[in-house]
Amino acid sequence: MRCVQRSRGPNRYMATRWRLERPTDLSWKAPAGMSQADRCAEQDVAAGSRGVRAIPTGVGSQGTASIALRLPQPGRRVYAYLRWNAGGRTIERYVGEVSGQTRAELLEDGWRKALANDLLPRTSDESRTANSWASTPAVRTVMRANPRKDTKPERRLRSLLHGMGLRYRVDNAPIAGVRGRADLVFSRAKVAVFVDGCFWHGCPDHYRPAHKNVEFWQAKLKENQDRDHRTDAVLAANGWLSVRVWEHEDPNEAALRIAEALRAHSSAR
């Protein structure tokens, strides 16, 4: 096992992977015969909600935007485009190169970049806020600044584990073909470590319920927690052990707990 080092940004390793070989059709194309309803649901999940996709298409009318993925011939990189229909005409905006191992991850990355660059048409900042996951433009900016990976607690934990002589993969899918990435993956021991943020995963000690957009945030938190439970169940069914660490935990104690889990799980196997 080895630790994957990234020298220039969080997507350095994944972008390099795409250059090594052309992605298969299954990793980025929609399945043949996929219904329109399923396509719509797929976009909703990738964007975070149907409301995020809502855009004005005329006076008093509203539509929804979608992310389209393309893989030029004979290229090895997948590119995302934001598309919507206005007055019977398809409008498209270039989003950029996207990274991921599955179509779902590529769509999520496309939506993340489209939102971060304010590519969706809006009539005003207020209308954007009303359809988005933040209560104000300022809150929205702060939320987007939160990195999905390579957070400070993750980096500190990795440093301690590496100093203990442990080797791992970073931001990796423990089981090929199954959606869900772990922050640290110990392949030989079959142990996956997740560093969960207190806000996004509902820490019992530090989570504070939102006072605005309450229904949205309640649904978002439940969705995150349900996904965590499903991930743990799938890993357990395949002989893996999930270790979850809260971002507020003492990194030294967390590192010792992970090392003990590695020893115990390896012995049990």
What DSSP string runs through 162-220?
HHTT---EEEE-SSTTSS--EEEEETTTTEEEEEE-HHHHT-TTT----SSSHHHHHHH
Whole-number pLDDT of residue 137: 47
pLDDT exceeds cutoff 80 at 130: no
Domain extents for the chain? 12-145, 152-268
Q: Is 91 helix (H, G, I), strand (E, B) or coil?
A: strand
Q: Are 166 and 214 in contact (CB under 8 A)?
A: no
Whole-number pLDDT of residue 59: 52
pLDDT exceeds cutoff 80 at 122: no
> Mean pLDDT score of the chain, rounded to an integer?
80
Mean pLDDT of 112-138: 59
**% of the chain residues with pLDDT over 70:** 78
Whole-number pLDDT of residue 169: 93
Greater confidence, 261 or 49? 261
Distance set, CA 64 to CA 86, 177, 248 (Å): 10, 29, 38
Angle at 258 between CA 255 and CA 259, to 5 degrees: 85
Q: How many helices (H) and strands (E) does the chain have?
A: 10, 9
Tell me: the pLDDT tens digits for 29-39? Answer: 999 889 999 99
φ and ψ at residue 204, rounded to 5 degrees: -65, -20
Greater confidence, 248 or 207? 248
Mean pLDDT of 244-249: 93
**Order of strands across the sheet with 89-98?**
66-70, 78-86, 89-98
Domain 152-268: CATH superfamily is VSR Endonuclease (3.40.960.10)
pLDDT exceeds cutoff 90 at 157: yes
Mean pLDDT of 17-44: 84
Whole-number pLDDT of residue 58: 63
User: Quick one: which of 171, 225, 210, 167 has its CA closest to 194?
Assistant: 171
Whole-number pLDDT of residue 81: 95
pLDDT exceeds cutoff 90 at 261: yes
Q: Minimum mean pLDDT among 14-18, 140-144, 254-258: which range?
A: 14-18
Whole-number pLDDT of residue 13: 39
Q: Minimum mean pLDDT among 95-104, 145-154, 166-175, 184-193: which range?
A: 145-154
Query: Which tokens sit at 191?
Result: 């142990």
pTM of the model: 0.49
